[in-house]
Amino acid sequence: MRDWSAFEIGYDVPALPGMALSDVQTPALVVDLDALERNLDRMRTHAAAAGMRLRAHAKSHKSADIAALQIGRGGACGICCQKVSEAEAMVRAGIGDILVTNEVRDPVKLDRLARLAERARIVVCVDDPENVGPLSRAARRHGVTVEALVEIDCGAGRCGIRPGAPAVGLAQAIAAAEGLRFAGLQAYHGPAQHIADPAERAATIAAAADVTARTVSLLWDAGLACDIVGGAGTGSFPFEARSGVYNELQCGSYVFMDADYERIRAEDGGRVGGFENALFVLTSVMSRPRPDRAVCDAGLKALAVDSGLPRVFGREGVRYDGASDEHGVLAIDGGDVAIDERIRLVPGHCDPTCNLHDWFVALRGETVETLWPVTARGKVF
Ligand code: PLP
Ligand code: MN
């Protein structure tokens, strides 16, 4: 337990445990613990029903506390990180099993990655045979084994070697390299996550699963087994889960949901995965200049708007209409808000929103239960 007596509201933290929601200093990143726990339970159930491992993506929250909950209550086998610095923050905080779902090429970063393998299981993605030698040398220098997944481009058009023979050649090079262990395939399809139509999303993942299955089979013929066939995000995971090809799900946003993920539908017409809003930016009304307009204190420095403006939560007739650096304009159309009133906003995109804050204020109902640091905030290097 953290000793909160040394923390001063305003200077250090936006709130302290035991405080009422109405006293939280805004804008603040708040988590509804009951909703978060239900999301953890839902994802655990989905993964178990599919007979798959969950390796939750920690880039969404960058919090070692939430990562620990995902591994504990949420049943995850470990976490994913996107950056070496993110992985460093998580290893320091005691997380023991990390997949860096990215290519690492800079020699200093390779060295930092290998050093982490002295303290945790480290898996990394590789999409180029030229990367194998430097990665192997870094592992040998530290006397560790670094596990490597061959990342294939399964249709996403980002990183990844071509599936089939090129991927097999790369896997063989990894398997032959000292200090490395070939651990399987990374086959994540990013653009599929936000395809609105579930049938189109299903077809996109079916095509990705197809090229992935062919590569798994070619690897098997070459004597190489895939321990991990990883991919999937919050939007597409039911399709990877039913593919019979993937065995690890890398969902991240599921733990919070965001306004962008609310817009896409599951096959049953409901929300993807049944996940509910657990993350909010709490904001206060600071000006009421006209009957049809209010201004709140959460703008671009409190909210990422790359995937659209936030949604006002639980209030009819009030809409977030525009963001500038430190202001949010609320259009009042049938609803009402009072000066200094606290309002919950559902961020358009959860991941970059979390990276704007130092603390999660964790609420149980309307009371602050605890605070969690955004452990890997700014760890983008
Ligand atoms: N896996 C990888 C490689 C990703 O890049 C991402 C997100 O971009 C995810 C998993 C998790 O996706 P989501 O937050 O949509 O669940
Ligand atoms: Mn995202």
Structure tokens that stand for 336 in this block: 């009402």
Q: Which two tokens stand for residue 231?
A: 């991919």
The ipTM value here is: 0.99
User: Band of the pLDDT at 349, cuts 50, 70, 90?
Assistant: very high
Residue 2's pLDDT is 86
Distance in Å, CA 57 to ligand 1 centroid: 6
For residue 363, the model assigns a pLDDT of 98
Query: Atom 8 of ligand 1 has which residue's CA nearest to it?
Result: 190
The pLDDT score that the predictor gives to residue 355 is 98
What is the band of 249 on the pLDDT scale with cuts at 50, 70, 90?
Answer: very high
pLDDT class for 324, splitting at 50, 70, 90? Answer: very high
Ligand nearest to the CA of 246: 1
E-strand ranges in 127-200 read 146-151, 180-186
**What rounded mean pLDDT belongs to the chain?**
98
Mean pLDDT score, 226-244: 98
State the Cα angle at 264 between 77 and 352, rounded to 5°: 60
* Torsion angle, alpha carbons of 59, 230, 113, 252, to 10: 10
Protein residues near ligand 2, an ion, with CB under 5 A: 351
The pairing of strands 121-126 and 311-312 is unpaired
Q: How far is the CA of 350 from the centre of ligand 2 (A)?
A: 6
pLDDT tens readout for residues 213-225 = 999 999 999 999 9
Mutate to test the pocket of ligand 1, among 43, 46, 54, 59 (most ligand atoms within 8 A of CB): 59
Report the nearest-CA residue for atom 12 of ligand 1.
233
**Mean pLDDT, range 365-380, rounded to an integer:** 97
- pTM tops 0.90, yes or no: yes
Mean pLDDT of 265-285: 97
Nearest C-alpha neighbor of 282 from the set 20, 37, 21:
21
Burial 336-350 (b: 16+ CB within 10 A, else e): ebeeebbbbbbbbbb
Q: How confident is the model at residue 70 (pLDDT cuts 50, 70, 90)?
A: very high
> What digits encode the pLDDT tens for the residues 126-161?
999 999 999 999 999 999 999 999 999 999 999 999
Ligand nearest to the CA of 307: 2
Pocket test for ligand 1, best of 99, 186, 188 (most atoms within 8 A of CB): 188
Mutate to test the pocket of ligand 1, among 57, 185, 260, 351 (most ligand atoms within 8 A of CB): 57
Q: How far apart are CA 281 and CA 241, in angstroms?
A: 32
What number is the average pLDDT over the span 98-104? 98
Q: Of 345, 351, 363, which is closest to residue 298 (Cα–Cα)?
A: 345
Q: What is the pLDDT confidence band of residue 267, given thresholds at 50, 70 and 90?
A: very high
pLDDT given at position 343:
98
pLDDT category of residue 330 using cuts at 50, 70 and 90: very high
Please give the residue that has the higher pLDDT: either 151 or 2. Answer: 151
Record the tokens describing residue 248, joined without a space: 């690890």
Q: Which of 28, 13, 85, 72 is nearest to 255 (CA)?
A: 72
Ligand in nearest proximity to the CA of 351: 2
If you average pLDDT over residues 187-200, what whole number do you get?
97
Burial class (CB in 10 A: 0-12, 13-18, 19+), 321: middle
Residue with CA at minimum distance from ligand 1 atom 3: 101
Of the candidates 289, 320, 277, the residue with the CA atom closest to the CA atom of residue 302: 320
- Taking residues 331-346, what's their average pLDDT? 97
Q: For 18-65, how does the pLDDT look when each residue is reduced to its tens digit (9 = 90+)? A: 999 999 999 999 999 999 999 999 999 999 999 999 999 999 999 999
- CA–centroid distance, residue 60 to ligand 2 (Å): 7
C-alpha 222 – ligand 2 centre gap (Å): 36
Report how far ligand 1's centroid is from the alpha carbon of 315 (Å): 30
The number of the ligand 1 atom at minimal distance from the alpha carbon of 261 is 15
Strand partners, 367: 20, 364
Q: Among the atoms of ligand 1, which is closest to the Cα of residue 186?
A: 3
State yes or no: pLDDT of 1 exceeds 80.
Answer: no
Residues within 6 Å of ligand 1 by CB: 57, 60, 80, 101, 188, 190, 193, 233-235, 250-254
In angstroms, rounded to a whole number, what is the distance separating the alpha carbons of residues 255 and 40? Answer: 6
* Calpha distance 183→171 (Å, rounded): 9
Structural domains of the chain, with CATH: 11-31+275-373 (2.40.37.20), 35-256 (3.20.20.10)
In the reported structure, the alpha carbon of residue 56 is separated from the centroid of ligand 1 by a whole-number distance in angstroms of: 9
